[in-house]
Structure 1
Amino acid sequence: MKKFIFLGIFVFLSSLIIAQEKEEKQLTNWNGNRPDGHAPISVMGDHYHSKGGIMFSYRYMSMNMKGLLSGSDEVSNTEAHDAGYMVTPLEMPMKMHMLGAMYAPTDRITLVAMAMYTQNDMDLQMRMMGNIVPFSTSSSGFGDLKLGMIYKFLNKNSQSLHGSLNFSLPTGSIEEMDVTPMSSPNEVQLPYPMQLGSGTFDTELGVTYLGQKETISWGNQLKAIVRFGDNSNDYSFGNKYELNNWFAVKTDDWLSFSVRLQGLIVDEIDGTNPNLNPMMVTTADTTNSGGSYINGGLGFNLYAPKGSLKGFRLGFEYATPLYQDVNGIQLEQKETITVGLQYAL
């Protein structure tokens, strides 16, 4: 039901904007060569290129999770222990480096590739015989490789509509291990959030609408990630359904500011990893996965329209949760900071 609500919101907002633009009868194309010609830096697949166009990008994302939620209510680690878990997480900072490339063989098709390197750190505590033992685990390495394409449906009257189709290849490890107080000095397999990849072949479908006026722009993007089959450890991460809406103001030829609202639904993990004990730690219990989220973001884009830096774009966004409703007991999401540099040829 929530998926249809997201789709309805997207169609409604897009219809209003299209109707408004048609009334004004603007004859110019949507223009990507301005600071707000790209979405906030955290939004992927927001634009395409003309025939022969090439773009390289680098993004750095830092996300933090701290404290526990049960549904939308805060709970203590003591309450999580009392629910039957020997180990509960305290905090999980995650850092991700993303390298991307785009090439347009035609005016309608833009090919896309993205690789990422992730570093996960988690602080936890173990309750054993009345004592609290703190410890930490970590994992790092390359994640899943994404390949795909963007198809331009239209670009006229200062509006643009395009679709995207991406395939995620399971190149990231799902066998990450580390030492815990119970396993020392041996390593054990880490729970689901600490793995670097999905282990499955995933498909990402998206549609993006863009609109512009002289000093403002806006966009709506609906996206879904669908998993196929189970991985070699007999589980698959939940499907994701995402709606992004943003609005930007161009204050100069080189600077714009943006505000973004995101709705996100994540399904529960399907299956279970036989190497994990779901009563040992909350993150090894698949009932503690998935949920519904609303996030807000503020950011800016710097763009070089001419000179020696022509084609460079620097983006920044600070995002924070506005609403969270998780399944079971999970870490509470906190702030996410994304910084990116893009260079178009």
Structure 2
Amino acid sequence: MKSIKIIGLGIVMFLSQQITAQEKENQNWSSNRPDGHAPISVMADHYHGKGGWMFSYRLMNMNMESLLSGKDAISNTDAHDAGYMVTPLKMPMQMHMFGTMYAPSDRITLLAMASVVKNDMDLQMRMASGMIVPFSTSSSGFGDIKLGMIYKFINKNKQSLHGNITFSLPTGSITETDVTPMSSPNEALLPYPMQIGSGTFDTNLGITYLGQKEQVSWGSQLTTTLRFGKNSDDYALGNKLSFNNWFAVKAKDWLSFSARLEGKFVNKIRGTNSNLMPMMVTTADTDNSGGTYMNGGLGFNLLAPKGTFKDLRLGFEYTTPLYRKPNGIQLKNKETITVGLQYAL
């Protein structure tokens, strides 16, 4: 009889522990729902439990077209009259991003990211005679590699707080060249926006707050990119500060919709590449770099909750500028479309 009581007590204790663990799990913020990840454009937005892996792929297409001088639209003729022989018309950019995440503990998630970048730019040159000569340049290659860590501070009451630190290695080229009307038949060094990497060892710091209710979720993320020193061509791209806020609605167990607001502040390029002529083209003048921007995004996440493709996610986001104030004369940022796949193990 005594042994039966002991066994019964053991069963009760085991069941109570299971219930307590389940209640705790239900009180935690969870990534196992379609809105458990931020809009696909946001990086380092979540972490994993001990032993968890995730592999991701993103395709980002960004378009820039026509010119701004500060907040004001200007024509290419105006830019030529400001003293520039060459002015850009448009620049589509495409980036393929590959990522891996692994959690050696419940607190720490390690991450690695690599990218392949393709830039195209259409420009025009005004000759001394006034004749306009259009031409195009392009560059492509592997971008800078990023290695980092996410650290979970808090996860309770359906709220979470984590920080991240990422180091960027200067593996992307800063020596891209192409043929221009001025250099033909030889190739000339392309200006700053057409280079693939930064050429510097950069540090990205961020902190992310997440919250959930039964049918909705939200998040805020503050990140900064700091570039130390200058690269081999004696310049450094501008430091960046970004503030992201998003809100999502879980429509189904496999579908959520999101809205995002981003503020971004980018400093001017520090230093100059002596091989570039600032008054030849607007993109070679470091005064025409950096600025203040606000973007809005709408998107959705699809999650396979079970079956053969369990834990496979598809994310989509369309982003458009709401406010633009670049420094100097720059191409106008237009729409950005990001599509991505994420698979967790």
Q: TM-score range by the shorter chain?
A: over 0.9
Runs of 4+ in structure 1 off by over 2 angstroms are none
Give TM-score, length-normalised by structure 1: 0.92
How many residues are aligned here? 321
Amino acid at match of 1:80: A
Unaligned runs of 5+ in 1: 1-25
Which residue of the partner structure matches residue 31 of structure 2?
A: 32
Letter in 2 for 1:61: M
Matched, 1:83 2:94: no
Residues 57 and 100 in structure 1, CA contact (< 8 A), matched pair in contact too:
yes
SS of 1:337's partner is strand
**Corresponding position of 1:170:** 170
**Structure 2: how far apart are the matches of 1:143 and 1:288?**
23
CA RMSD in angstroms comes to 1.0
Q: 1:332: Cα distance to partner?
A: 0.2
Q: Secondary structure at the match of 1:69?
A: strand
Equivalent residue number for residue 74 of structure 1: 73
Q: Check if 1:112 corresponds to 2:111.
A: yes
- Partner AA of 1:199 in structure 2: G
1:46 matched to which residue of 2? 45
Q: What SS does the corresponding residue of 2:193 show, helix, strand or coil?
A: helix
Match in the other structure for 1:344:
344
Residue 27 (structure 1) shift? 6.7
1:96 is aligned to 2:95 = yes
Q: What is the aligned partner in structure 1 of residue 130 from structure 2?
A: 130
Q: Identity rate of aligned residues, in percent?
A: 75
Give CA deviations for 1:176-210 in whole Å, capped at 9, x if unaligned: 00000010000000000000000000000000000
In structure 1, give the amino acid aligned to 2:44: G
Counterpart for residue 9 of structure 2: none
Provide the secondary structure at the position in 1 that maps to 2:27. Answer: coil
1:271 equivalent in alignment to 2:268: no
Deviation at 1:266, TM superposition (A): 0.3
Secondary structure in 1 aligned to 2:294?
strand
1:275-286 maps to which residues of 2 (within 5 A)? 275-286=275-286
Residue identity matched to 2:41: S
- How far residue 137 of structure 1 moved from its aligned partner, in angstroms, is 0.1
Equivalent-residue separation in structure 2 for 1:262 and 1:73 (angstroms)? 21
CA contact (8 A) 1:86 1:279 kept: yes
CA contact (8 A) 1:27 1:156 kept: no
CA distance in 2, matches of 1:182, 1:228: 34
Q: Shift of residue 255 of structure 1?
A: 0.1
How far apart are 1:122 and its partner, in Å? 0.0
Aligned to 1:21: none
Aligned position for 1:149: 149
The equivalent of 1:243 in structure 2 is: 243
1:146 aligned partner, one-letter code: K
SS in 1 for 2:83: coil
Alignment TM-score, normalising by the size of structure 2: 0.92
Indicate the structure (1 or 2) with the bigger Cα radius of gyration: 2
- Return the alpha-carbon distance in structure 1 between the equivalents of residues 28 and 191 of structure 2: 49
Q: Which amino acid aligns with 2:39?
A: P
SS at 2:199's partner residue? coil
TM-fit CA distance, 1:166 = 0.2
How many Å apart are 1:269 and its aligned residue?
0.1
